[in-house]
Structure 1
């Protein structure tokens, strides 16, 4: 076997280091019997030998190592220099001989396509597609060698260098093979995806087709016909106007020709051809075991496959635990992360805890709910069976409007489709199960809303929380090993069953009263704004008080320059210890310890139990204190909050006075008065259930880490927090003595998967066949060019946009508007520093919206891609009344 040139028949999927992703795929398909035009690969060993001809390449690689993906001018300069240099480097003679021997054996009279094939190309996790060059209709030995040299040099095009830098690939580690493949001069060519690349639907084969060579389609010169096949039938087709095509020339090269008017709207493929091609795609997908992006062409009555690579852009599937029944509708999954305002990828233990937490669809308390699925490092909840109840198809989407408008719109449209309703799975006993759980909560909520003494509500809630937490801690005290893990599972599985019935009857009537206040204010007074004013300065909200205490910490630090220096530039891990050695550290330390006692178990992304809490690592908290000192005057946060409460009380009195002047005013004022009292007393308790949950998460996290430390002592784990890369059941088996030899490899694989999952954007809604359900807002009276979202806190503000992807990186200055992917209670410390808030996810009743209203800052949520569409430093107008953001002055 020649080390420099391999025929397709000598290549399979294991040949990737020698022939790259593209070459390995062609060899694999050739050996599997698919209709692949014959050819050969010039191996990476030949490329390496070619580079070794140049003593200058070592210095060039050192320069490449210093580049960042966004340094476009520097990339262009070094790339051009390397390509010009390689054009002068000779191809070693023995490699030329090997290439030309294979070329003659394959057919010297034939025309060839010459393509680059990188070792990091067409991988399941990184496509690299289009990063290197392709040369078509290459004829003769001189053209062939010239094209191969050009392919080698194309490893150093601007786009290839930037792509490697962005994806952190070592420039030396990505080697290049060259694929030399006999040309087929097709009547029609195109691309086939075995899953819909737009919607993600795994049951849809999507085919793009146009006349002539596929380069016109790939390069975007021509629109293609689109055919979609589902379950072996032509499901849809869209015929495009195809104005031109690319054809091969007899002497070599290609020509672009305008198509006659009569040909431009002719179907590129007939129905039988579409189904034949789709069947071939299914066979290729089955061979590889994954969805494929396939380049194909049609010539002289048959199809040829010229490339196949994995589709890397699809979001992983959320799996249905129970197999779908015959003819059953695809199941609909809701993103739990969007509901909880934390869409980052989570480690396996974080997902396992959440799946155990959900109380439905499980045979025992310790089990993970079968109504949940982990996909792409996120948890999704299967809500399909809920819609077997007709009222749920109307009511549930309306509830989702409080969480995320786009999610609500998507669900609303999808669950009303006849095809979905007609094939819903059976759900015996569902109505009774819901009634048993929800019924008592609703009855107590109505009592609290209309008749209960509200003055003792907070006292009752606080007493329950204290008792519940003490009980949970006592149940876990003194345990270790399997007994501790089983008790943990039971405790996690019972949390929602205990907390929700006990606490939800307090904040739920607060939410209902807010909606009724808004609706009745609009109906009776035509006033849509007063309800937002009534939100301000709610007393007793544990999350709002946490934010105010951050301001108190900032004010405590102000008189002490050394403390401020530690906050800004100290070592977060050693912060508390460092305080002992600076002037004012004892004063600030007392305030710090008090804060940690109340809130140390919280952090950004706190629903992920694997994330370090503030008491473990204050790295995400200290920047918030710093931002507060730079953007607020001493005591300003408390004054503003108190002023909000005064304004809310005044707005309430004014509202009742206006109602009394109307017909039946005494009745309207009495009704509204009760709603006002219920709202001010109970809405402040909205965050208490989450607060208690996080207090329990703090206990659970400590127990997991303690068990991890014991496994480190036993030599099972390398470090205690490796425990977060297994599930609860897996951890139980480890504590029971199981010692799988593959554990180190499994942990390494899961850590690599987590890094990949962090690059994915999770969908709000997705079906079990991978279809992403996306809602679309209706146009409003927003200005042209505005970004549309959901208005959640009224008011209009203009200021500098500050993109904050993570709280620990926040550098908010006075008068700036925070643009964030999401916020949860761990982000609350930043709210005082911002004059406005924009989020990519969220709804009227999610955390960021509620806190923004309480603090009286305008907010718009649900703007997809806001952190990319708005640039750091742009001057923007945020309209929290109408729900849009407008860029006024782009940042230079």
Structure 2
């Protein structure tokens, strides 16, 4: 298309942009679709000629009523102040969207806009055109908005084009577009809509291509969907397209339709894959490209937008604002690597704040040990490649992975057979007189291996003390906890710089000593359980020993849960407090607690509880997460749950006492059975199992103390954040958790950190909405589980890893976040994963079903201790099961049926 002539510019200033001359175009002016098409056209990609009516046209046409509607959708009042309260109900939101659409359709098209569109359409030849919406909140790196606004094909005649433009404007306010913007946190007041008008291509074949496999995440594959006829049919799902998978670098066809003539030839597939790869290189990230092939065989690109659903590559640095290796060629090197998601093993599906990741990195020595880590998607992954390429490592992985995560273990055989991860024998070098190098296998241990051995050796004296004098070791652990709490306090007053220094110092000076002081006793407890299992071989089945772990004493998390239950019992006796918890939701109760206006018993009882446990949190290993002392909503919700327990047999303290009595009875039974084989064996079994019950409950103490350290760091950094807010360096005190220590030091010297925080918060918000997290991730982006062929599923059951024996039938309660969760006594808790922040829910749950984990994962261990049936590693449990659905959990068979 020819560019606009000087004689036409007077009436069209700011209204029209030629797609082939987009130099001055911006996202705010032309929207995502037009901006990307313009970049493609300027780079000589085959793009149909056309023009863009900018957002200036939309602004001219938009009636004043839209401002009020958009403000209400944004939760802003007439005076510009943000309204408090929950998000709008769907019905009200949809009603406002309909009002905006109707207002836009009723508004006249301004004369200068009408004239500009008609003249530009005439210059295109007045033939059939495509009229397509191009929103400013569209084709963004974090949200594609695919299909949210309307497009119209084969529009003929100037009047019809103008009317199609009006309908595109109105489609900015479809229910789906408004809901999508709300979900992605994009302001309705700031969004605008441009319109792209292009000559129609007489289509022979059309479709879409993805420059990375959208299902598996593999960046080295191009996936092409194609069908004869218009591409809109493929995009809308109106036809079942042919699907092709092509290896991008070589053009090799990995998958194509079988049993019929495919809609694309080999040369056409190669051309499309090459065009897609070139577009990916142009934009710097994997692309979702719409294409058509005309009757003459020429390929045209009609749209390109980023694929926003891919999980980030392991090499992506979440603390670096630059584009990672998602660009062309990512992950295609000769040295593939495989990573296991340690975040999921910790019971977390949510991302970790940048400061939280930074602190976890420091705690593990910033990759100076034997393990290597990566943080794609703001989650912690451990590099398993060296283990898979080592014979001994493979054997260890085959033993340990099924205990930690059954679903990952199910994928292990295929990985062991994958030639890319075959065992590598390190070259051996002899040490000679001239100081030749030592054998490679010795060198590979390095300082990290030596450090790990040294740390293990440091635990041995404590384990010996625990074996010989368990009560003394229990008292020693409690003293350490009290002394640690005193050492963490920073005397006031203190400057922001001193607070920042203190936060760093307590991290570096406490962690190693903390592990040495708190880990030996519980480690010995579980070693004694393993010894008992060996002594009972042939006498008792291994699963019979599960009962020994029920109702364990000295577990600080269980003690906490029982104290919370006792608080609920005391509040039940207080009519005013009981009425407040019946009438108010957790957020309302929390607001009254902060104001000091809860009923007296509740105010003082909660204050005392939080004085002991307020440092804890949901997802508490993340330094950036608010502590219960800051946001007690979760604890208040748990109290509300406990107040609904009416059956005396279902009370947590009664159930815990019953579980403990069952454990003692099982020990007596096992000792007696072992004694029939030999008196000494019986005594040894008794010693092992009683040491297990004395010491294994301390397994929560190391983490409890680590969380004390993190909570004190959190408190100091909040104060630093308040100072930075006063200085204008950041907008909110919580922004400090989206920075690292070095950046905070720079901020205290006056640097503006708002841009960095904004970018990282946006990434964090995107990851918060992600539902699927790869448990095993290859360096080329492949989600190993997604790439595996799933076994056929039964219509009325799910299977997972047996985690805690027993059978329970009840109503499912799917809970994605424990904060504010409602769980009726006896209901079956269905969750993606759990950490200690979830444990108050276990006290009244009838059973547990969890998508993640293995037999030693947190949820499984706690379920066994509380004596409730559990099945873990159940794929898609939170989406297949529905609230209120009656299900049966068999914790021994590992099944969930309905």
- Which residue, 274, 280, 289 being the options, matches 2:284? 289
Q: In 2 relative to 1, CA 510–349 (structure 1 residues): closer, same or farther, beyond 3 Å? A: same
| Aligned-pair CA distance for 1:174 | 3.7
Q: Deviations over 1:570-593 (max 9, x none)?
A: 6536638837x85546xx83x656
- Which residue, 220, 224, 227 being the options, matches 1:207? 224
Q: Distance in 1 between matches of 2:503 and 2:111?
A: 69
Contact 1:124 1:310 in 2 (8 A): yes
1:562 maps onto 2:576 in alignment: yes
1:307 maps onto 2:324 in alignment: no
Alignment of 1:301-450 (within 5 A): 301-319=297-315, 328-359=334-365, 361-362=367-368, 371-411=372-412, 413-421=414-422, 429-431=443-445, 436-439=450-453
What SS does structure 1 have at the residue aligned with 2:813? strand
Q: Distance in 2 between matches of 1:134 and 1:625?
A: 52
Contact 1:10 1:27 in 2 (8 A): yes
Q: Distance in 2 between matches of 1:486 and 1:170?
A: 39
- Which residue, 861, 871, 892 being the options, matches 2:872? 861
1:743 maps onto 2:753 in alignment: yes
| Aligned-pair CA distance for 1:305 | 1.0
User: Which residue is 1:238 aligned to?
Assistant: 255
1:535 maps onto 2:513 in alignment: no
Contact 1:316 1:375 in 2 (8 A): yes
Q: In 2 relative to 1, CA 82–505 (structure 1 residues): closer, same or farther, beyond 3 Å? A: closer
User: Which residue is 2:80 aligned to?
Assistant: none
Q: Report the TM-score when normalising by structure 1.
A: 0.84
User: Which residue is 2:203 aligned to?
Assistant: 186
User: Which residue is 1:6 aligned to?
Assistant: 17
Q: Distance in 2 between matches of 1:453 and 1:79?
A: 67
1:653 maps onto 2:688 in alignment: no
Q: Deviations over 1:473-525 (max 9, x none)?
A: 6488568666765564454346554444554443335445556766887x635
Contact 2:854 2:873 in 1 (8 A): yes
Q: In 2 relative to 1, CA 520–144 (structure 1 residues): closer, same or farther, beyond 3 Å? A: farther
What SS does structure 2 have at the residue aligned with 1:850? helix
Q: Deviations over 1:755-800 (max 9, x none)?
A: 2221123322223332222279999999642232222111111222
Q: Distance in 2 between matches of 1:433 and 1:235?
A: 44
Q: In 2 relative to 1, CA 326–149 (structure 1 residues): closer, same or farther, beyond 3 Å? A: closer
Q: In 2 relative to 1, CA 125–12 (structure 1 residues): closer, same or farther, beyond 3 Å? A: farther
Contact 2:615 2:707 in 1 (8 A): yes
Q: Distance in 2 between matches of 1:882 and 1:694?
A: 35
User: Which has the larger displacement, 6-15 or 177-186?
Assistant: 6-15
User: Which has the larger displacement, 169-178 or 73-82?
Assistant: 73-82
| Aligned-pair CA distance for 1:405 | 1.5
Contact 1:7 1:102 in 2 (8 A): no
Q: Distance in 1 between matches of 2:479 and 2:24?
A: 60
Contact 2:316 2:375 in 1 (8 A): no
Alignment of 1:17-36 (within 5 A): 17-36=28-47
Q: Distance in 2 between matches of 1:872 and 1:340?
A: 26
- Which residue, 104, 110, 116 being the options, matches 2:133? 116
Q: In 2 relative to 1, CA 360–672 (structure 1 residues): closer, same or farther, beyond 3 Å? A: farther
Q: Distance in 1 between matches of 2:33 and 2:845?
A: 50
Alignment of 1:624-703 (within 5 A): 624-631=638-645, 636-659=651-674, 664=677, 669=682, 672-703=685-716
Q: Distance in 1 between matches of 2:654 and 2:744?
A: 50
Contact 1:476 1:487 in 2 (8 A): no
| Aligned-pair CA distance for 1:606 | 0.8
Contact 1:407 1:775 in 2 (8 A): no
Query: Cα RMSD (Å) of the superposition?
Result: 4.1
1:805 maps onto 2:816 in alignment: yes
Q: Distance in 1 between matches of 2:761 and 2:577?
A: 37
Q: Distance in 2 between matches of 1:514 and 1:177?
A: 68
Q: In 2 relative to 1, CA 237–453 (structure 1 residues): closer, same or farther, beyond 3 Å? A: closer
| Aligned-pair CA distance for 1:221 | 3.7
Gaps of 5+ in 2: 1-8, 77-85, 318-323, 427-439
Q: Deviations over 1:325-375 (max 9, x none)?
A: 995422322223212112222322111111111136239xxxxx9933333
Aligned residue pair count: 846
Q: Report the TM-score when normalising by structure 2.
A: 0.83
User: Which residue is 2:436 aligned to?
Assistant: none
| Aligned-pair CA distance for 1:130 | 1.2
Q: Deviations over 1:139-179 (max 9, x none)?
A: 34454345444434444444334434544545554433322
Q: In 2 relative to 1, CA 185–799 (structure 1 residues): closer, same or farther, beyond 3 Å? A: same
- Which residue, 829, 832, 838 being the options, matches 1:827? 838
Q: Distance in 2 between matches of 1:582 and 1:471?
A: 33
Q: In 2 relative to 1, CA 439–134 (structure 1 residues): closer, same or farther, beyond 3 Å? A: same
User: Which has the larger displacement, 160-169 or 723-732?
Assistant: 160-169
